[in-house]
Amino acid sequence: MKTALATVSISGTLREKLEAAAKAGFDGVEIFENDLTQFELSPKEVRKIADDLGLAIIALQPFRDIEGMPEKLRLQKVEMLKRKMAVAHEMGTNRLLMCSNVQPYSSGDRDRCADDLRHLAELAAPEGIMLGYEALAWGYHIADYYDAWDLVKRVDHPNLGINLDTFHMFSRGNTLDLLRDEIPVDKIALVQVADAPVMPRQDYLTYSRHSRCFPGQGDMPVVEFVQVLKDKGFDDYLSHEIFNDDFRSSSPIEKAIDGMRSLIWLDDQTVSTGEPKSFPVKVPEVKRLEFIEFAIEGETGEALIKTLAQLGFKETHRHVSKNVSLMRQGDINLVLNREPASQAHDHFQKHGVSVCAIGFATENVKQTLAMAEHYRAERFANQAGPGELNIPAIRGIGDSLVYLVNADSKYRFFDVDFEPIEGIQGETGVGLTRVDHLGQTVPNVDFLSAGFFYKSIFGFDIEPKQDLPDIHGLVVSRTATNRDKSVRIPINMTNARSASAERFMQKAGGSGVQQIAFACDDIFAAVQNMDQEKQLPIPANYYRDLEARFGLDPELVQKLKEHNIMYDENEQGAFFHCYTEEIHGVFFEVLQRVGNYSNYGEANAYVRLASQARQEQNHTAS
């Protein structure tokens, strides 16, 4: 299928939108009328820009409130259509998209509405224009595609087809039966694919204007929809028409790439009848988080090292040629990069002490890189010295990198490029065993795309989002996990200016890793051996509430309180966890999972967030 993007989906001037669509690799664009009306160049000049960029202008839209209008307004609509067809010709497109009437004074008489549409189709015929009729979910009389198809059938004209928009279909609860069993391919004027989170029934217009997202980022059955189209032999454009406040307030090129990634993903999830897939869509499995790399310099860098040392980490290896060292404990690898001529240094200049990269161990690096390229991820040109590993990397979330190593390699990354520090081998630290999860915080405009980055390229599952109450607002979180949940990446955002996620991004200069959680087998033994100077204090009221909620043994509650350890439990098991203070916005968690507990202690998040805010205020005051 061919790919297209409605210009309303992204931000910028019409020229910027066209350039972004071309750079992302779209075949065509739908021109949203507002974008053209406010643009300084003529329709012919717009066509020239599109031609130069290799884009087809596939439609002009929308033409509103057509059918069932009072006579005076009906005549105005006829004259308007004539002028819109002239504009369409100048732009080199032969499609005009029409929306069902939303006016309360319009007629719902089907025969009359069909007569209106038939008259318009007859006007379009000598002009070679195809009219696409779409049911808006909030249409006054025609609100779902069943009724829209009824009108198109009544008109029975070769220049009138139905426009299928997944948002309008699925927000109304429509099934795919009508499309599967009755609508022929030659009567489909255009297909627009949009997704959205499932929400309680509400005002459809508000839902449409603020909640749409790219397919794969929401909960609608868009994959099933595209599969039905392929089964019917449809091979025309799949186009995005996305109304989303965050999309229209962010980089047009980044959102255009997200949109193209989404259409590629949709194609990969579905199969054309009788045709082999042209790309291996089985995503190589990510087996583990191989390492976390920090960009460090100066006093803040030393403060980070001190905190890690209090958690039992020691520098065990040094790089053979660079100012880079490695801290290890259990199967946790923390790379400390002080190299002046490096991506880490550039990251430090922008973000201060921070996580500049993570490393995934994947079952097939070559295929993972091919998948990343397939989904429009950007390769990073790494520089390795003679005889050193050239670990491939792609651009990740924000300015960070994702490195890729083979999970089944006979050696680890540090066996080649690092030398052990004499006398440090065999240190067990305080009993931390692995990275349990890694929390990344992003702006609200990047929340959906961050999750889809991990979903599309690495095949991660995206868990349902959760609201975490902060004393200054609300933090929204959803977690990306690999198949066996050995790699967990909570992604957080907020719309509140003073909430913890926003405060982190102000300190860090944008997106970044805010939280790193280390697992252990015995949290009481671990904290007993940890230096608790940098530990986050938890208020005594929390422990009184904890005892009341779970009926815990008072001795256990006292033990938890002494070490600022928090607790949660459910039917699957129990969860113990505690936190360090923040270092340039980054904080660490030590946790123990008991039984099959697979959550993250979300019930305790509001207490932790309040404690962090209070400690931050105390440090500011001092």
Annotated binding site: 134, 165, 192, 241
The Cα–Cα gap between 505 and 66 comes to: 48
Q: Helix or strand or coil: residue 43? A: helix
What is the torsional sign of CA 248, 254, 255, 256? positive
Please, what is the Cα angle at 111 between 108 and 115, to 5 degrees? Answer: 105
- Cα gap 138→148, rounded to integer Å: 13
Alpha-carbon gap, residue 367 to 157, rounded angstroms? 49
d(CA 441, CA 459): 20
Q: How far apart are CA 83 and CA 259, in angstroms?
A: 31
Backbone conformation region of residue 65, classed left if phi is above 0, alpha if psi is from -120 to 50, else beta: left
Distance CA 401, CA 397 (A): 7
**Stated length of the chain:** 622
Cβ proximity of 52 and 41 under 8 Å: no
Across the beta sheet with 314-319, what order do the strands follow? 379-380, 393-395, 401-406, 354-362, 286-295, 332-337, 324-329, 314-319, 418-420
Q: Which residues, at least 6 apart from 377, have a Cβ–Cβ distance to it below 8 Å?
A: 394, 395, 453, 457
Instruction: Confirm if 272 and 383 have CB atoms less than 8 A apart.
Output: no
Contact, 77 vs 65, CB < 8 A?
Answer: yes
Binding-site positions for a divalent metal cation? 134, 165, 192, 241
- At residue 255, φ and ψ (nearest 5 deg) are -75, -35
Helix (H) or strand (E) holding 614: helix 605-621
Q: Is the dihedral of CA 35, 66, 44, 4 positive or negative?
A: positive
Label residues 244-281 b or e (16+ Cβ within 10 Å = b): bebbbebbbbbbbbbbbbbbbbbbbebebeeeeeeeeb
Residue 445 is classified by DSSP as: G
Q: Which residue bears the tokens 């297209």?
A: 4
> Would you call 157 helix, strand, or coil by DSSP?
coil
What does the DSSP 8-state code read for residue 11?
Answer: -
Rounded distance between C-alpha atoms, residue 242 and residue 255, angstroms: 11
Number of Cβ atoms within 10 Å of the Cβ of 459: 17
